Amino acid sequence: MQKERQILLTIEEAAASLAICRAQVYRLLYAGQIRSIKIGRSNRIPLIEVQKFVTRASLDQHGYDITEVK
């Protein structure tokens, strides 16, 4: 049986995947650079939002998508 890929991340999980602190994730959320969804009182960040952020950041800094470079 294959393990399903997690599609929603907690703030802590998003921070760990980006190698930044929780406070920086909150700054990105408040700045609108990453979007989240609210489930009850909890924020969850779609994995695709983290991936989009990395792609946008690499395009801004390097002029190309570093996620595509092998």
At 14 the pLDDT is 97
The pLDDT-based confidence of 6 (bands split at 50, 70, 90) is: confident
pTM above 0.85, yes or no: no
At 61 the pLDDT is 75
> CA quadruple 60, 61, 63, 67: dihedral positive or negative?
negative
Q: What percent of the chain has pLDDT over 90?
A: 69
pLDDT tens string 41-67 = 999 999 999 999 998 888 877 676 665
Looking at every residue in the chain, the average pLDDT score rounds to 88
> Element (H or E) spanning 63, and its range?
none
Sequence-distant (6+) residues with CB within 8 A of 26 are 11
**Residue 52: alpha-carbon gap to chain centroid:** 7
